Amino acid sequence: MKKRVFSGIAPTGDAHIGNYLGAIRQWVKRQDDFDNIFCIVDLHAITVSQDPTILKAKIRELSGLYLAAGIDPKRSIVFVQSQVSAHSELAWILNCFIPVGWMQRMTQFKEKSRKRKEQVSTGLFDYPALMAADILLYDTEVVPVGDDQKQHVELTRDVAQRFNSIYGQTFRIPESLIPEVGARIMGLDDPTTKMSASETAVGHAINLLDSVEVIQGKILRATTDSQRDIVFDGSRPGIYNLLVIYELFTGKSRKDIEAHFDGQGYAALKKELGEVVIEGLRPLQTRYRELTADPTYIDSVLSEGADRARPQAEKTLTLVKERVGLG
Ligand code: ATP
Ligand code: LTN
């Protein structure tokens, strides 16, 4: 029996190379090692305000990107979170077992609420309870995510343990799986902040569907420093981030990369990095265009995915309700 994997991405903004290198590419690489469920977490998307027409389109776009990146719907379940109502139901129940103090410690909430000028929703605060429900519904053992989600997986473990200690063994305790390199790709405009879909500055992120010209332009304008050496030095975040992206797209060793750029300037690095990223994304972009040429294909994959996920989720939900004494 393979271990169960569950992971997801919110269909907010444009998917970027941080999502790809930190999450999607890892899922694809280890697709055969696990029994996978990959979700498009649209209920998480509405924790911040969304335009309905755009949200609907982004759900299909992100699904298409999962498939174009190599997620095979025959080997992995791909579905949209809101199509399986057990996610919302279990999130409510788990809410009742999560002390407010745990939620208040979540750094993602603190950062997101600090940045937002408009009102912060209760949903944004409660985001980790819904994520815990996603994971716990499917007896998940492994949650492959970027570095920023580690704390949410910890909270998931804590609430699962708490529930189990009150009601007896109900949930399996999951673990996060975080890549050694690429778990935290930084913004090109500001290499001290994580590349993020909700950051709207034009030069911030390389999006997976960006054109050749846009990718080149963003990399050429990336923030660096006033030094010269092209070496992996964590204390120089701009150059370090560009080199990590280069490393991940080429698969070359750090030693070889440093030797390759020895004596060259930042302009040479940026030019070559642009080419490497463009070539690295080309197969995904081509496949994306092929897949989306048939407008019904993605919806059929999603509907089949939800049909496969639903019975598993309902089984867990029924057990939980019984344990709690509901109904
Ligand atoms: P938002 O800022 O709107 O929350 P995001 O760009 O951070 O969005 P998420 O939907 O939160 O993206 O993340 C989806 C997956 O991609 C998660 O596994 C997350 O850890 C990973 N991820 C997101 N940003 C990065 C990044 N900069 N580097 C590596 N992994 C990332
Ligand atoms: N919060 C995650 C997205 C997410 C997720 C999940 C990831 C929602 N539910 C379950 C793994 C497992 C994020 O990346 N922002």
How far, in Å, CA of 12 to CA of 56, rounded?
Answer: 10
How far, in Å, CA of 121 to CA of 81, rounded?
Answer: 19
Beta partners for residue 177, in sequence order = 144
Indicate which atom in ligand 1 lies nearest the CA of residue 149. Answer: 20
The domain spans of the chain are: 4-178+296-324, 212-289
**How does pLDDT run across 186-211, given as a tens digit for each residue?**
999 999 999 999 888 999 999 999 99
Give the contacts of 255 (CB within 8 A, at least 6 positions apart). none
Number of Cβ atoms within 10 Å of the Cβ of 322:
12
User: Which pLDDT does position 250 carry in this prediction?
Assistant: 97
Under-50 pLDDT residues of the chain: none
Tokens linked to 325: 């004494």
Alpha helices per DSSP H over the chain: 17-19, 25-29, 42-45, 52-69, 86-95, 100-104, 107-115, 122-136, 150-167, 212-220, 237-250, 254-261, 266-292, 297-324
Of 48, 90, 107, 149, best ligand 2 pocket probe by most atoms within 8 Å of the beta carbon: 149
User: Which pLDDT does position 200 carry in this prediction?
Assistant: 86
Name the closest ligand to CA 183. 1
In angstroms, what is the span from residue 128 Cα to ligand 2's centroid?
9
> Cα–Cα–Cα angle for 23, 27, 32, nearest 5°?
170
212-289 CATH pick, 1.10.3720.10, 2.40.50.140, 2.60.40.10, 1.10.240.10: 1.10.240.10
Tokens linked to 311: 């019975």
Pairing assessment for the beta strands 175-177 and 76-80 based on DSSP bridges: unpaired
Q: Would you say the pTM of this structure is higher than 0.85?
A: yes
User: Which pLDDT does position 181 carry in this prediction?
Assistant: 86
Beta partners for residue 8, in sequence order = 39
Q: What is the mean pLDDT of the chain?
A: 96
> Cα–Cα–Cα angle for 40, 43, 45, nearest 5°?
75
4-178+296-324 CATH pick, 3.40.50.620, 2.60.120.1310, 1.20.1530.20, 3.40.50.300: 3.40.50.620
> Cα–Cα–Cα angle for 97, 101, 102, nearest 5°?
65
Fold match between 4-178+296-324 and 212-289?
no
CB-CB contact of 174 with 135 (8 Å): yes
CB distance 146 to ligand 1 below 6 Å: yes
In angstroms, what is the span from residue 231 Cα to ligand 2's centroid?
33
